[in-house]
Structure 1
Amino acid sequence: MKSITRALLVACLVLPAIACSKKEEAPQVEAAPVAVPTTEDKTAWNAYLNDVAGRHMEGVNNSPYVYLVPPASADQAPAADAAAAQEGADAPAAATGDTGPTMTMDGNYERLLDKAKTDVSRGITRGNLLIFAGLDSARTANLTIASFSTVPAGSMKGVRVLFIGAAADNERVKAAVEPAGVEYVFVDNAA
């Protein structure tokens, strides 16, 4: 009986040591990036934006500000979005009786533009991430540019701005946001 007890005791002491020495490290596998949605499906966009945000959160202390720009309705003129991008420069036109782009834009875009302009103009503090994305890259670029139209130079140091769109819109968005002192990141939605 003593020999069985001793054998069990030795087994209890030796087996964990053997198991620890044979510990195999599981390889760290990075998850494949989520594909860019090609439709207006909000669930697909949420999954994509969560994935992209997770890949760009280094040094970010807070939840990101996400601006998912809705695509233009079929009856909407593309010129209205371009006018929104120039809204800061069009102040004299409004004084001459022009009602501006808000009369021709759909409500969702107008509300998002107002929210983005308000958020950016009140000041975003260091350690934050702003994500601008949407199915229509030009429209997303116009909203991003309009949002930064009144931001003082150098006022947003330490803030990361992520623009998800087409390469054709990259340079004009970069030129509009970098004077604010932000760290600009471009993600090509064609990839």
Structure 2
Amino acid sequence: MTRHTLLAAAVAATLMLAGCRAPAGDEAAEAAAPAALTAPTTDDDGAWKAYLGQVIGQNMDGITERTFNYYLPAATDPAEVDGPYSRMLGDVQAAVQRGVLPGNMLSFSSPNSTMMADLIVAAFAAEGVQDTALKGSRVLFIGEAKDESRVAQAVTATGAEFRFVEKK
């Protein structure tokens, strides 16, 4: 076969395959409508992390830098000295006191919404946290509606964009 024949066959195949695609409007509508997510009904960490990964993914619009995800298992004991709760509280306090650069997102989630809300409020109220510490960044809280307002108040005091997703 000559070069021209091969080129003509490639163009014809491309045109035929392009005609097999679904209309662009249908794809755009499917992509624009995120799937409704349902939170796990158990305390299984694997199921929760899979659910939270999807919720976080749906809230990445406008994020140009890193995402820092904070997750506490339901069985975490806040009173445990040097336990997961106290270590995370220290980590979050240090990050907020240092400041978070614009374009980053901090996400907070736990099967125990109240425990996570307590941690966020305590960390963001720590001494030395400035009112511009998170300006240009986003804080995503995945929890129960009863905890939303107190978390929002603590977060917005640092200049961050606050986003809440109710776990259902």
TM-score by length of 2: 0.78
Query: Alpha carbons of 1:34 and 1:18: their partners in 2 closer, same or farther (altered >3 Å)?
Result: same
1:162-173 mapped onto 2 (5 Å cutoff): 162-173=140-151
Q: Secondary structure of 1:180's partner?
A: coil
Give unmatched runs, 5+ long, in structure 2: none
Cross-structure match for 1:16: 13
Task: Give the distance between the partners of 1:23 and 1:121, measured in 2 at CA.
Answer: 55
Task: Supply the distance in 2 between the matched residues of 1:70 and 1:174 (Cα, whole angstroms).
Answer: 22
Deviations 1:87-112 (A, max 9, x none): xxxxxxxxxxxxxxxxx336111111
State yes or no: 1:140 paired with 2:116. yes
Find the aligned partners of 1:186 and 1:64 in 2 and give their Cα distance: 16
- Could you tell me which of 159, 162, 167 is aligned with 1:184? 162
Whole-angstrom distance in 1 between the partners of 2:41 and 2:66: 25
Instruction: State whether residues 70 and 109 of structure 1, in contact with CA within 8 Å, keep that contact through their aligned partners in structure 2.
Output: no
- Whether the 8 Å CA contact 2:142–2:166 is kept in 1: the answer is yes
List, as ranges, runs of 4+ consecutive aligned residues in structure 1 with deviation greater than 4 Å.
none
- Who is 2:90 aligned against? 114
One-letter amino acid matched to 2:22: E
| Offset of residue 18 of structure 1 | 5.8
Distance of 1:17 and 1:161 partners within structure 2: 45
Q: Percent identity?
A: 35
Evaluate the alpha carbon distance shift between residue 155 and residue 109 of structure 1 in structure 2; reply closer, same or farther with a 3 A threshold. closer
1:64 to 1:21, Cα distance in 2 relative to 1, 3 A: closer
Aligned-partner residue type, residue 161 of structure 1: V
Partner residue of 2:61 out of 42, 58, 61: 58
CA distance in 2: counterparts of 1:40 and 1:69, whole angstroms? 11
Mapped contact 1:66–1:131 kept (Cα < 8 A): yes
Provide the rounded CA distance (Å) in 2 between the counterparts of 1:58 and 1:111.
29
Match of 2:70 in 1: 67
* Residues in 2 aligned to 1:184 and 1:114: alpha-carbon distance in whole angstroms: 21
Q: Per the alignment, in what secondary structure is the counterpart of residue 39 of structure 2? A: coil
> Per the alignment, do residues 119 and 14 of structure 1 end up closer, same or farther by CA in structure 2, a change over 3 Å counting?
closer
Unaligned 5+ segments in structure 1 are 82-103
- Work out whether residues 97 and 133 of structure 2, in 8 Å CA contact, stay in contact via their aligned partners in 1: no
For these two proteins, the number of residue pairs brought into alignment is: 155
Structure 1 pair 133–22 and aligned structure 2 pair: CA distance change class (3 A): same
Q: Which amino acid aligns with 2:50?
A: A
Q: 1:22–1:133: structure 2 CA closer, same or farther, 3 Å change rule?
A: same
CA contact (8 A) 1:33 1:51 kept: no
